Amino acid sequence: MKNYGITCILFLITFLSYSQTFDQKIEDLINENLDETIELRHWFHQNAELSNREFKTAARIAEELKKIGYEPMTGIAKTGVVAILNPGKPGPVVGLRADIDALPVKERADIPWASKMKGVYNGEEVPVMHACGHDMHTAILLAAAKILYEIKDEIPGQVKFIFQPAEEGAPPGEEGGAELMVKEGVLKNPDVDAIFGLHVWSGLYAGQVYLRPEGIMAAVNEFRIDLKGVQTHGSTPWTGKDPIVTAAQIVNSLQTIVSRSLPLTEAGAVVTIGSIHGGVRSNIIPEDLYMLGTIRTLDNGMKATVLKRLEEIVHNVAKSNNIESKITYLVSYPITFNDPYLYEEILPTLERVNGKKNVHLMKAITGAEDFSYFQEKVPGTYFFIGGQKPDVDLSTVAPHHTPDFYVDDSAISTGIRSMIGLTLDYIYNN
């Protein structure tokens, strides 16, 4: 017991000495590299690319990593890039992840580095922009990789930098994202002990950090409903079988799942139909129709109930209208679950490097993240950083996935500081 106490005291002295030495050193390095990081962020923003099509983005990431001194691995999960700091060095292994894909959205933000990119989505040419901040995530992780490389000899462990494609979902018929990365072994060789990820948020002020233990973001189940009837003239609907009326009844009935089948005092849930396609003229009842929807849940038991009720409602309402029905499940992410033990370990780090008053406990949200696939395999923590200047009225800020989405460069330092602090503290503590 006496030896154990001495060991603990020596460790504490070493750790305090380490943190005092490194925090200021890291801050200096962040400031030295900030202009370059901002320029990279703007380049990624201007060259936005869709999921599994991030070819220029991946090439630039690999190029920057090589300039630093890494030997990046490319083509991971189609267009992902991975690099390892201190390969083979004994000690803990930390994974740091950034998502790199953009969205089929036309940018309206009045900035000189706005995206003019185009891509193909669902067979159509569409405008592409970073409407969710992944450009900033990528720049932050590259900056962290550069700074950690500069002090690599002082780090008793390894760091695996994971630049992940297709967080927004792979194109139909393709695999992608974190799920495919895990399947291809990205958490192995070396085996990752803990993984960290972040997300900039347009509705929060820069310098602020938000997180929580356990479920922080919802599970998502996206689906397609196909309805097949019999086409006929709109003036004689009794001579056909109407998928339009059936779809209307299904949409209304699906809204009763949350309000009538779930214990909402336990956790939130959402069922949304976001797209309906059917018909070409006002006087033609079409033969078929399809709808696209999403389910968000924060409890696995409630998720099972929603999926069961979805099947019952769709098929029974369709049958009552003599309509054939089919449900196809598309994108599916588990709950983004912050390991509670890891959370307790790393919370003091975030408070130390960002200031305790700037780190906040948040409520779970119904957005979803495929970072959850990493967390299914190893302990992980996911957190949010603010993206607006302090003089901005947050009630006027455009939400994510919209044409006017914007996050300010002033958020970058918080992201770099947090990712590096978590990495170093975890390696030194374990």
pLDDT tens-digit map of 171-205: 988 999 999 999 999 999 999 999 999 999 999 99
The whole-number pLDDT of residue 21 equals 72
The whole-number pLDDT of residue 20 equals 64
Residue range 219-333, CATH number = 3.30.70.360
Name the nearest CA neighbour of 57 among 111, 106, 112, 115: 115
Q: For all residues of the chain together, what is the average pLDDT?
A: 95
Residue 89, pLDDT > 60, answer yes
The model's pTM: 0.90
Domain with CATH 3.30.70.360 in the chain: 219-333
Taking residues 344-351, what's their average pLDDT? 98
Residue 4, pLDDT > 50, answer no
Residue 258 φ/ψ, nearest 5 degrees: -70, -45
Residue 62, pLDDT > 70, answer yes
Q: Print the SS3 string covering 397-416.
A: CCCCCCCCCCCCHHHHHHHH
Helix (H) or strand (E) holding 309, with range, is helix 300-320
pLDDT band for position 331 (cuts 50, 70, 90): confident
The whole-number pLDDT of residue 172 equals 84
Name the nearest CA neighbour of 413 among 151, 24, 33: 33
Tokens of 127: 């405008």
Residue 6, pLDDT > 80, answer no
Antiparallel, parallel or unpaired: β 324-333 and 219-228:
antiparallel
Name the nearest CA neighbour of 291 among 272, 304, 308, 309: 272
Q: Which long-range contacts (CB under 8 A, 24 or more apart) does 271-275 make?
A: 271/295, 271/306, 271/310, 272/296
Domain with CATH 3.40.630.10 in the chain: 2-217+338-429
Q: Burial level of 410, CB count in 10 A (0-12/13-18/19+)? A: middle
Q: Would you please indicate which residues are annotated as catalytic (active-site) residues?
A: 101, 167
The whole-number pLDDT of residue 2 equals 46
Taking residues 33-41, what's their average pLDDT? 98
pLDDT tens for 232-275 read 999 999 999 999 999 999 999 999 999 999 998 999 999 999 99
pLDDT band for position 17 (cuts 50, 70, 90): low
The whole-number pLDDT of residue 122 equals 84
Q: What percent of the chain has pLDDT over 90?
A: 93
Tokens of 4: 């154990």
Q: How far is CA 49 from CA 122, 131, 174, in A?
A: 15, 11, 16
Residue 7, pLDDT > 70, answer no
Which phi-psi region, left, alpha or beta, contains residue 369 (left: φ > 0; alpha: ψ -120 to 50)? Answer: beta
pLDDT tens for 380-417 read 999 999 999 999 999 999 999 999 999 999 999 999 99
Residue 361, pLDDT > 90, answer yes
Residue 10, pLDDT > 70, answer no
Q: How far apart are CA 391 and CA 369, in angstroms?
A: 29
Q: In the CATH hierarchy, which fold is given to the domain comprising 2-217+338-429?
A: Aminopeptidase (3.40.630)
